[in-house]
Amino acid sequence: MKFGKYLVIKQTRIIKQTVAKAPIAGALRAVHRFAISSDDGIRGTAAIEFAAIVTALAVLFVAVADVGIGFYRKMQVQNAAQAGAQYAALYGFVASSIANAVTAATSFSGISASPAPSKYCGCPSSSGITNSSCGAICSDGSTPGTYVAVSAQATYATIIPYPLIPNSFTFTSQSTVRIQ
């Protein structure tokens, strides 16, 4: 009995030591098997194919991210023009304040109110707003309204240069609002 008990205790210690060293030993065995493998040609081919696929996927990922950022910047320019028009609708025409509203509308630091906000009189029609003098009468007999045109502009530079595509794009947007 004592001998059997001693043997069980000794085996438990050996198992505990083996379990503690198993991850290191397993990794070394895998490296050893890879190094002495007889199918080196197949493994080498797989490694080359993997490298080519990963490279292509990385380039595609960067390109898709670049296009996404470009679209987001375009939306920021449009939102900035709309924010300037909303400011004009609420507080009236003050060119410098409207320009400040345009530049402060988004976190994109390259946005400017260019060309400067303008105020004009016009008559609404089916094709848009027709310019007219402020005291005149519109063709439908109504008085001309006072409008404010707000423009926003920004330039977006791509992350990496692409063949056949320019390295930077200038986004512009205009928003018009009737204030009277």
Residues 45 and 88 in one domain: yes
Residues 22 and 60 in one domain: no
Angle (CA) 107-111-117 rounded to 5° is: 125
Mean pLDDT over 98-126 rounds to: 92
Residues 12 and 62 in one domain: no
Pick from 69, 117, 113: which is nearest to 93 by CA? Answer: 117
Residue 88: burial class (beta carbons within 10 Å; 0-12, 13-18, 19+): buried
Residues 161 and 118 in one domain: yes
- Check residue 36 and give its pLDDT: 64
- Check residue 125 and give its pLDDT: 85
Number of structural domains (the chain) is 2
Residues 26 and 91 in one domain: no
Helix, strand, coil percentages, rounded to 5, for the chain? 55, 20, 25
| Residue 143 belongs to domain spanning | 39-178
Mean pLDDT over 61-89 rounds to: 95
